[in-house]
Chain A
Amino acid sequence: MTRFGALLTLGLLLGCGGDAARAPLRVAAAASLTDVLEPIAERFERSSGTHVELRFGGSSTLARQIEDGAPTDVFVSADSRWVTELIEHGLGRDRQTFATNRLVVIVPANASETPRGLRGLTTLEHLAVAGPEIPAGAHARLALASEGMLDALTARIVSAPDVRGALAWVASGEAEVGMVYATDARVEPRVRVAFVIAPNADDPIVYEAIAIGADDDAAAFVRFLRSEEAQRALADAGFGPAP
């Protein structure tokens, strides 16, 4: 930093004492929540007076950054495994489930046929899903397995590196059918939902938040995600209510 920059920073720190200088709340959130978290964060800012800095990325990428010491107050994850991982490393507390999602089977919007059940997928050539290590891909494979359809469909599964890749393949017609989250299907006009996969009690699709560190605002933000207004915004975006 230049000397001028250092002086400026010092001046700002001295000049704006008290509440106004409260550090912003740094929230690292799963990229799939980008559109819905921005308005929720704005509402939190209005009600708490704390500025929120949102940073989006893959749950795994963000969790690794947090493990490596990236300054973060709240982690909002689409992948429970990483929440567990951070808590086991003593990095998080106040684990809170605030939303759920569902898997849907999608076809291109102009498809002539609409399969009505998993059994109807065996005649189609390609079923696009996310890779087995990606939460969406793991959930999709478990859903197929619990219906006894995984073996019959394995040869037809094409994996994308992420769920949006699978969505894009169906949207462009490269794959006749795909399995993605309900919230993904809503944002892509070139696909339509053929049917919804019934929730699997053994493998719920949940979104969780944890507070990193001891900041009160962090715990408040995590609680706010379950508030009525946050839940309304999440429902509008197609997410299911917290259990």
Chain B
Amino acid sequence: MSPLVLSLVIACASALIGMPPAIALGWVLARRTFRGKTLLSALVLAPLVLPPVVTGLLLLRLLGRRGAFGPVLEGIGVSVPFTTLGAVIAALVVGLPLYVIAARTAFEGVDPRLEEVASTLGASPLRVLTRITLPLAWPGLLAGAVLAFARALGEFGATAVLAGDVPGETRTIALAVYAALEAPRGEPDALRLSLLSVGLSVLALVFHELLLARHVRRAGRRA
């Protein structure tokens, strides 16, 4: 696959696969109080501030063939290093903090009184979640997905360490730009890919802004 297609596939996959954990973590952090909540929050947000290379190295130590979960993964025939899956995982972990922050904010924006009213009218907790909470938080959750997608497009460091620079498998736009800059006449290629990267990122961020604006309008109508 070309770097452009690969970037899009990896970013989409990481945004989709990241959705359930991001929504679950965002909801827990917004709606629950428990011992260790601060620690959980710090752990989830850590990849946002860690050098991506460090995140990549830790992931390799966990998911690599000689990593802590290596034998388990090998048992089910899953290979993470040097594969597109590895690039997806790297992008997912690095993008997850933004995703969780967005989901948490989205859930915090849902008026708890609406949930209480539904409850007192006899709705089960699951029904409250699917009929009240999720529909109201949805634009914010979607905005988080788009933000995670955009972050995944820019991922370089963790991907390089965990998944390498395998053309067609893990060579995304970011890695292709890095490779193009190695060669004396590579700058035009690097610039072309960079412009592509800028275009994609801006598009994603504009979409994110539109979703957020919609979320705010909805919240405003309710107030």
The reply to whether B165 and A159 form a contact with Cβ atoms under 8 Å apart is: yes
Give bound CA distance, A158 to B80, whole Å. 13
Chain B: interface secondary structure?
loop
Some 5 contacts from A to B, beta carbons below 8 A apart, are: A85-B184, A134-B179, A160-B165, A161-B160, A173-B66
Contacts A161-B175, A174-B60 given: A133-B66 contact, CB under 8 Å?
no
In angstroms, Cα B70 to Cα A120, docked, is: 25
| A131-B165 in contact given A81-B183, A161-B160 (Cβ < 8 Å) | yes
Task: Select from chain B the residue with minimum beta-carbon distance to A130.
Answer: B165
Interface residues of A in 30-72 (CB under 8 A from B): 58, 60-61, 63-64
Q: A60-B183, A131-B179, A133-B180 are in contact. List 8 more A-B contacts (CB 8 A).
A: A60-B182, A61-B181, A132-B179, A133-B182, A159-B165, A159-B167, A161-B175, A175-B82
| Interface residues in B41-84 (C-beta closer than 8 Å to A) | 60, 64-66, 81-82
Min Cβ gap B7→A in Å is: 16
**Chain A residues with Cβ under 8 A from B166's Cβ?**
157-159
Given A165-B161, A172-B64, verify A134-B182 contact (CB < 8 Å): yes
CB of A131 within 8 A of CB of B182, answer yes
Asked if B125 is an interface residue, CB under 8 A from chain A, the answer is: no
Question: A60 contacts B181, CB within 8 Å?
Answer: yes
Among B65, B160, B175, B182, point to the contact of A174 (Cβ < 8 A): B65
| Contact between B184 and A82, CB atoms less than 8 A apart | yes
A85 to B82, CA, bound (A): 33
Chain B residue at minimal CB-CB distance from A176? B65
Measured between beta carbons, the chain B residues less than 8 angstroms from A85 are: 184
Does A139 have its Cβ within 8 Å of any Cβ on chain B?
no
Residues of B within 8 A of A84 (CB): 184
Q: Is B18 an interface residue (CB 8 A)?
A: no
Contacts of A158 in B (CB 8 A): 81-82, 164, 166
Q: In the complex, which residue of chain B has the Cβ closest to the Cβ of A126? A: B82
User: Does B178 count as interface, using CB distance less than 8 angstroms?
Assistant: yes
User: B81 — which chain A residues lie within 8 A by C-beta?
Assistant: 158, 169, 174
Provide the bound-state CA to CA distance between A172 and B81, in Å: 12
Q: Which residues of B contact A81 (CB under 8 A)?
A: 183-184
Pairwise interchain contact A133-B183, C-beta atoms closer than 8 A: yes
Contact between B181 and A161 (Cβ–Cβ < 8 Å)? no
| Closest beta carbon of chain A to B64's beta carbon, Å | 5
B160 touches A160 (CB 8 A): yes
- Residues of the A chain whose Cβ atoms lie less than 8 Å from the Cβ of B180: 133
In the complex the two chains form, what is the Cα distance from A58 to B186 in whole Å? 15
Tell me the chain B residues, 174-209 only, with Cβ under 8 Å from chain A: 175, 178-184, 186
**Docked complex Cα distance between A172 and B179 (Å):** 24
A161 vs B160: C-alpha distance when bound (angstroms) = 7
Alpha-carbon gap, A131 to B175, bound state (A): 10
Chain B nearest CB: distance from A226 CB in Å? 25
**B161 nearest CB neighbor, chain A only:** A165
